[in-house]
């Protein structure tokens, strides 16, 4: 299995809408590791790693987020692997 890691910044109405908890649930369903946190500028920052196909599925989910989110932008860039096996909300 090919493994990849991404650093993701999600913009829009993504704080106060259960984005982090929903991201954790989706990442766990896809057996991905990493973390998610709110940033002071109103964005959500994510590090995700795991199998390439499941990481791609996670990014596709991030472009929508939970039902009450309004994602207006997403920047995903390659990141170094951190060896994370679980997904954490920070």
User: What are 39-65's pLDDT values in tens digits?
Assistant: 999 999 999 999 999 999 999 999 999
Query: Nearest to residue 1, comparing CAs of 54, 46, 78, 48?
Result: 54
Q: Which of 13, 20, 57, 90 is catalytic?
A: 20
Query: Nearest to residue 22, comparing CAs of 68, 55, 83, 53?
Result: 68
Q: Is 38 a catalytic residue?
A: yes
CATH architecture of 3-89: 2-Layer Sandwich (3.30)
The predicted pLDDT at position 16 comes to 95
The predicted pLDDT at position 1 comes to 74
The predicted pLDDT at position 61 comes to 98
- Those residues of the chain that have pLDDT short of 70 are none
Domain borders along the chain are 3-89
The predicted pLDDT at position 53 comes to 97
The model's pTM is 0.95
Q: Is 90 a catalytic residue?
A: no
């Amino acid at each position: 299995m090919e493994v990849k890691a991404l650093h993701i910044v999600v913009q829009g109405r993504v704080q106060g809408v259960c984005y982090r908890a929903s991201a954790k649930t989706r990442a766990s369903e896809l057996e991905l590791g990493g973390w998610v946190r709110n940033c002071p500028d109103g964005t959500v920052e994510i590090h995700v790693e795991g199998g390439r196909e499941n990481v791609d599925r996670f990014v596709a989910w991030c472009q929508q987020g939970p039902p009450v989110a309004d994602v207006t932008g997403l920047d995903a860039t390659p990141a170094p692997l951190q060896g994370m096996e679980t997904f954490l909300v920070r």
